[in-house]
Structure 1
Amino acid sequence: MRFFPTLPHFPAVRSAVRTTPLLITSLLLLASAAPALAQAPLAAADEAVLADRRLAAGYLRTGNGDLAALALERLQKALPAPHAMRAKTAVEAIDAGDLAAATTATEALAVDLAEARRAAGVRVLADCVREFSTVYATLDTHRTRAPDLADAALRSAIAAAARASDAAVARCDGEAPAAVKADAGFRRLVDGSRGSLGRIPEAVAAGDAELLHRFLIELRAYEQLLRFRYG
């Protein structure tokens, strides 16, 4: 009589049979998530998405939660799940009357989108503008606390920070799409920033704290507007 082995005689085969449904389920979940993951870098670089995020942030700054919620709801529909949840969190905060939390979530969404672009090797003007804001932050500390211009080392540090900020904003000018680069509003902000930054070493060398402060106030306005409109 022939002997036909059954699964109990092959533990490895028996284990594989038991785990196959779980494996298939996992593969199906990965396959269903793939379109959203592939879409993420594309959505993160979509100018309509970036414009809506800036719009929501702008309305939140002025305390207009209802209009901010409309822009965030559009983002919920346009973005894949990982990023759509940020927009949803912001909308829920608005519904709860917590505009500060909504602002935090909206800014976190900007960071998430930037990270998605970076991971995909995609770069847009918003990335450069936000980098400029980061570089400029060092120089801006002297706007809120008057520096001692009698300190030679401090004068040198302020001039270096101005040069670094100028290089950063010049890079954004170079990376801007042709239509943006030619736009009068963009030109006013970039050229105005570079004009003030170029005068800072002169004010520092002269020990003119009042003139330096005036330039730093101008720069703060330019930097904020660049970030609000293009970041």
Structure 2
Amino acid sequence: MLVAAALVLAAAPLPAQTRTDATDATVLADRRLAAGYLRTGNAELAALALERLVKALPDGPLRARAGAALAAVDAGDLTAAADETERLADDMAKARRTAGRRVFADCVRDLSAVYAVLDASRTQAPDLTRPEVRADIVKAAAATDAAFALCDGEAPADIKADPDFRRLVDGSRASLARLPDAVATTDRDMLHRFLIELRAFEQLLRFRFG
């Protein structure tokens, strides 16, 4: 009977006063967990993380979005579930921005937006014979480096000391420091290698901390 009672309590919705919002560290962590499990096709663990989100979030658009992701998992559509989980991240970021409440994940998301300008040179090979193209790439690299530096400065102490975080930030900034040489020498292959490496760093940073 005690076991049954415990299961009932565990499944019960959280009281209204304990529901959390888009700035809560546990909510942010569960959204990242759900997204990570969906990327690797682990539907069961993704569903558990999404169930916790549905229970934790207050009634409204965020909870509805988490519920839609969970429903997609239950229906076996992991692609739709992953899309809904990413939209949930966007919705949470908008809610924080509207409320004027910034968290570290916002710095990482802003970094990704800045980096996207530089990443365009990875997806479409630039004409390095043109001076204006070279200048634009160097400018985009400098902006990306500044974004990494900002997030390094904003990171809470435990994240700042995290070996994975240090590897991603320090590795990215080391590549960005060398990238202008590849541009100046019009070495497309070297530039492409740096951009592939940076893409991996940026993706891992967003998946782990964004």
TM-score (norm 1): 0.81
Cα offset, 1:81, TM superposition: 1.3
Instruction: Choose the corresponding residue for 1:140, options 104, 116, 119.
Output: 119
**The one of 46, 54, 60 aligned to 2:38:** 60
Name the amino acid aligned to 1:95.
D
AA partner of residue 48 (structure 2): L
Identity %: 66
- Asked whether 1:188 is paired with 2:171, we answer no
CA distance in 1, matches of 2:117, 2:100: 27
- Note if 1:89 corresponds to 2:68: yes
In our comparison, the structure showing a higher alpha carbon Rg is 1
Task: Write out aligned runs for 1:1-231 (5 A).
Answer: 43-82=21-60, 83-231=62-210
Mark the runs of 5 or more structure 2 residues left unpaired by the alignment.
1-14
Measure, in 2, the Cα distance between the counterparts of 1:39 and 1:52: 16
Measure the CA separation in 2 of the matches of 1:80 and 1:184: 34
Deviation string 1:72-113 (CA, Å, 9 cap, x unpaired) is: 000000111121111110011111111111111101111111
Contact 1:72 1:87 in 2 (8 A): yes
Instruction: Please tell me whether the aligned partners of residues 129 and 227 of structure 1 are also in contact (alpha carbons under 8 angstroms).
Output: yes
Report how far residue 54 of structure 1 moved. Answer: 0.3
Structure 1 position 180, deviation (Å): 0.7
- How many angstroms apart in 1 are the aligned matches of 2:123 and 2:86? 23
Runs of 4+ aligned residues of structure 1 deviating over 6 Å after TM superposition are none
More displaced 10-residue stretch of structure 1: 159-168 or 142-151:
142-151
Deviation at 1:39, TM superposition (A): 8.4
Structure 1 unaligned runs (5+)?
1-34
How far does the alpha carbon of each residue in 1:127-150 deviate from its partner, in whole angstroms, 9 at most, with x for none?
Answer: 000111111111111112221110
Shift of 1:188: 0.6
CA contact (8 A) 1:39 1:80 kept: no
Q: CA RMSD in A?
A: 1.7
Please say if residues 136 and 165 of structure 1, whose CA atoms lie closer than 8 Å, have aligned partners that are also in contact.
yes
Number of aligned positions between the proteins: 195
